[in-house]
Chains A and B, each alone.
Chain A
Amino acid sequence: MSKSTDTVDVSRYQALFRRRILIVLALAVAAGAAFLLDLATGPSRLGLDEMMRGLFTPDSVSPAVRVILWDVRLPYAVMAVLVGAALALAGTEMQTILNNALASPFTLGVSSAAAFGAALAIVLGLAVPGVTGPWAVSANAFVFAFGSVLLLQVLARSRGAGVETLTLFGIALVFTFNALVALLQFVASQEALQQLVFWSMGSLARTNWSKVQVLALILAVTVPFSLASAWQMTALRLGEDRARSFGVRLQRLRFLSLLRASLLAATAVAFVGTISFIGLVGPHIARLLVGEDHRFLLPASMVCGALILSLASVASKTLVPDVLLPVGVVTALVGIPFFMTLIFLKRPRA
């Protein structure tokens, strides 16, 4: 038998390992720069210099600047980073667990369910018992978004439900909740309709520090578990039977992964509304850059999500002078050119 004389140089793998770490770090630096740009951008025309001074020496700036920085720009900018990271992480886990490149919080019905929950609060005034005021819409959105993924979980754990069934069920949820939202829009008052349409466009303008803290906490709790599952998720890319034959407890992995994804997506959507693009394309951009070793893919996806949403936030403030566009509207406009460029730059696959 002819046998190749090439032997494996393990140091090449270590070089590849280092290169991927560098890519993730470079993305993080880019996301950091986008965050600063987001912080320096706004209708009040306050620049980065003033923002930095307000950040590190608050007494050196006027009270008005402090209010703009600490109550508006900083929570918005931090929220953009957190929401981008949360949606992209949720999307990556869903795409891997369901073995479906089109899986995302949006395509599996999480966003539609959240929109229905929000619509119930906005149009009919129905809210989760004990929750009132500005939290009512978010709480409703969260309950429905989380509930929709729990429904997916029930299906996932039922006998014989494969990933195709799960995906089809998710798509069915999208159409069902979209129809219910349309029904509520039909009976809504003019004012409620306007509010609902604006909510569904996705906006960072409803951010406050409490919401930032909640989402940061959920990310802090879920990310370590995601990273701890990185090898199992990498193995799952080789096929379900393959992963199980390696000893991966597939049902448990799928349950916990979908639970994390649902928590992240439901919280993000509940706070800022529907932002459909990040959870789908953030993971794809990261995959193009670092491959599918999930030790790199998961953090790279989060950083890509944060980068895209920060840039989208900048665009939402600058595209139309003196108008703050809903960030959900411009996210795709910012992300698609980046995504398409990467696709064309990458060499075609066999």
Chain B
Amino acid sequence: MTIPPETTLHLDALSVGYGARTVIDSLSLPPFRGGEITALIGPNAAGKTTLLRALAGLHPARGALRLGDADLLRLDGAAHAARVSYMPQALPQRVALTVFEATLSALRASPSARPDARAAQALVGETLDALGIGALAFRSLDQLSGGQRQLASLAQSVVRRPSVLLLDEPTSALDLNYQFRVMHLVQSIVRARGIIAVVVLHDVALACRWCQRIVILSDGQVVADGPPAEAITPDTLARVYSVHARVEACSRGAVQVMVDGILADGPPSCSGDVMPPRSS
């Protein structure tokens, strides 16, 4: 399903928790827009994955979460799954399914809008071709490298033509080549289909390189939200990660982050030269 570009994902006063413990408390954000990749970054236990799982309908939440006219918090699992696709961080181990079969199951297991067998097979073929992993189609998942499995996992997410694509650390444990491949493919698909993409990342440089918007979370609260150049500043990095960092523009204009030391109660803990941000 390709959504019209004016469709947005609205998140207002959203609260998520585990039992009595609230992780995200009444979080409101400007709408997420189609064709854009938003990075959710922040330190460990900031609530990034919890928020992403709540957006995916995998974790109960209170508040308002609307995709266009659809109230995602009121939709049943199948209707939610028809609109939102979630790629978990953990990839399954020792699964005796080929890449083609696994991708096909993403289409056929969904109780909503299940295409017929031939159409589903054709769609799987197109998707694997589009991701450049046609050569892996008939290889078993447990024979793939980590990067190849990540691409296979991405195929399972995008084959369903979601309106919203949620990716939980899609580049973790990948080498530089596969980090680039995965993010490039995500960008291509998001732009081509006008998808709303929200990606949890730990790598600030990747977030700056590939995402049009960065939301920095800490303790379930938004510390910064905006384009990379606005959200990523030495001040926000110091507040969120307790690091002393330089933020500079590279020769191509992209935001670059260099960490010079760790802050302990304010001052840097390492004695390296601390450079002020260079004005570009």
| Bound pair (A, B) | yes
B192 within 8 A of A: no
Identity of the chain B residue whose Cβ is nearest the Cβ of A236 in the assembled complex: B109
The CA of A232 and the CA of B107, in the complex, are separated in Å by 10
Q: Which residues of A contact B32 (CB under 8 A)?
A: none
Cβ–Cβ < 8 Å partners of B121 in chain A: 10, 13-14
Binding site for A on B (CB under 8 A): 53, 56-58, 77-78, 80-82, 84-86, 88, 90-92, 94-98, 100-102, 104-106, 108-112, 121-122, 124-125, 128-129, 132-135, 137-138, 140, 142-144, 156, 160, 180-181, 184
Which residues of chain A from 296 to 350 have any CB-CB distance to chain B below 8 Å in the complex?
349-350
Please count how many residues in chain A sit with their CB below 8 Å of the partner chain's CB atoms. Answer: 35
Residues of B within 8 A of A13 (CB): 100-101, 104, 121, 124, 137-138
Set of chain A residues within 8 Å of B58, measured between Cβ atoms: 241, 244-245
A287 at the interface (CB under 8 A from B): yes
Chain B proximity mask over A273-310: 1 for CB below 8 Å, otherwise 0: 00000000000000100011100000000000000000
Whose C-beta in chain B lies nearest to the C-beta of A3?
Answer: B132
Whether A234 sits at the interface, judged by CB under 8 Å, is yes
A-B contact pairs, 30 of them (CB 8 A): A1-B132, A8-B100, A8-B128, A13-B137, A16-B138, A238-B92, A238-B95, A238-B97, A238-B105, A238-B106, A238-B156, A241-B56, A241-B90, A243-B109, A245-B58, A245-B84, A245-B86, A246-B81, A246-B106, A246-B109, A247-B77, A247-B109, A248-B110, A249-B78, A292-B96, A292-B101, A293-B97, A349-B94, A349-B143, A350-B143
Minimum CB distance partner of A253 in chain B:
B109
| CB of B95 to closest CB in A, whole Å | 5
Interface bits A244-269 vs B (CB < 8 Å: 1, else 0): 11111100000000000000000000
Chain A interface (Cβ < 8 Å from any Cβ of B): 1, 3-4, 6-10, 12-14, 16, 101, 231-232, 234-235, 237-239, 241-249, 287, 291-293, 349-350
Chain A residues closer than 8 Å to B98, beta-carbon distance: 16, 291
Query: Which chain A residue shows the least CB distance to B133?
Result: A4
Considering the complex, give the chain B residue whose CB is closest to the CB of A291: B96
Q: In the assembled complex, which residues on chain A have CB atoms less than 8 Å from the CB atom of B160?
A: 246
Chain B, Cβ-Cβ closest to A16? B138
User: B132–A245 contact, CB under 8 A?
Assistant: no
Are A232's CB and B95's CB within 8 A? no
Question: Are A241 and B86 in contact, CB atoms less than 8 angstroms apart?
Answer: yes
Verify A247–B90 contact, CB threshold 8 A: no
Note all chain A residues with C-beta closer than 8 A to B138: 12-13, 16
Determine the chain B residues whose CB is within 8 A of the CB of A234 once the complex forms.
97, 101, 105, 108-109
Within the complex, what minimum Cβ distance (angstroms) separates A56 from chain B?
40
A229's nearest neighbour on chain B, judged by CB, is: B109
A1 engages B81 (CB within 8 Å): no
Which residue of chain B lies nearest to A15 when distances are taken between CB atoms in the complex?
Answer: B138
Which residue of the partner chain, among B53, B94, B101, B122, contacts A291 with CB atoms under 8 Å?
B101
Nearest-CB residue, chain A, relative to B100: A13
Question: Can you name the residue of chain B whose Cβ is closest to the Cβ of A248?
Answer: B109
Q: Which residue of B lies closest to A293 (CB)?
A: B101
A-chain residues with CB within 8 Å of residue B105 when the two chains form the complex = 231, 234-235, 238, 246, 293
B112 contacts which chain A residues (CB < 8 A)?
A: 247
**Max count, chain B CB within 10 A of own CB: residue among A1, A246, A248:** A246
Chain A residue numbers with a CB within 8 Å of B142 are 349-350
Separation of A6 and B138 alpha carbons in the complex (Å): 12
Name the 7 nearest CB pairs between A and B, nearest first.
A247-B81, A235-B109, A6-B135, A8-B125, A245-B86, A247-B78, A3-B132
A4/B135 contact (C-beta < 8 A), A242-B88, A247-B82, A350-B143 known: yes
| Alpha-carbon distance A101/B96, docked complex (angstroms) | 12
Q: Is the pair B96, A287 in contact by a Cβ cutoff of 8 Å? A: yes
Provide the residues of chain A in CB contact with B86, threshold 8 Å.
241-242, 245
In the complex, what distance in Å separates the CA atom of A12 from the CA atom of B138? 8
Which residues of chain A are near B101, meaning CB under 8 Å?
A: 13, 234, 291-293
A247 (CB) vs chain B CBs: closest residue? B81
Q: Judge whether A246 and B110 touch: CB under 8 Å.
A: yes
Which residue in chain B gives the minimum CB-CB distance to A237?
B95
Is there an interface contact between A350 and B144, defined as CB atoms closer than 8 Å?
yes
Closest to A295 in B: B108
Question: CA A238 – CA B88 in complex, angstroms?
Answer: 10
Distance of B92 from chain A, by nearest CB (Å)? 5
Known: A7-B129, A10-B125. A291 touches B110 (CB 8 A): no
Contacting residues, chain B, for A245 (C-beta < 8 A): 56-58, 81, 84-86, 88
Are A247 and B111 in contact, with the CB atoms below 8 A? Answer: yes
Identify the closest chain A residue to B160 (Cβ): A246
Set of chain A residues within 8 Å of B91, measured between Cβ atoms: 239
Q: Which of A10, A239, A244, A293 touches B92 (beta carbons < 8 Å)? A: A239
Residue of B nearest to A294 (CB): B105
What's the Cα separation between A234 and B97 when bound, in Å? 9
User: Nearest chain-A residue to B135 (Cβ)?
Assistant: A6
* Chain B residues whose C-beta falls within 8 Å of the C-beta of A16 in the assembled complex: 98, 138
In Å, the complex CA distance between A12 and B56 comes to 34
Question: Using Cβ atoms and an 8 Å threshold, which residues of chain B touch A9?
Answer: 125
- Please give, as numbers and ranges, the residues of chain A lying within 8 Å of B143 by CB-CB distance: 349-350
Known: A242-B88, A244-B58. A7 touches B95 (CB 8 A): no
Residues on A with beta carbons closer than 8 Å to the beta carbon of B144: 350
A243: chain B residues within 8 A (beta carbon): 109
Tell me, in angstroms, the Cα distance from A74 to B100 when the chains sit together: 43
Docked Cα-Cα span, A300 to B81, in Å, equals 31
A7-B77 in contact (CB<8A) = no
Q: Report Cα–Cα, A241/B59, bound state, in Å.
A: 10
List the A side residues contacting B53 at CB < 8 Å. Answer: 241
Closest to A348 in B: B143
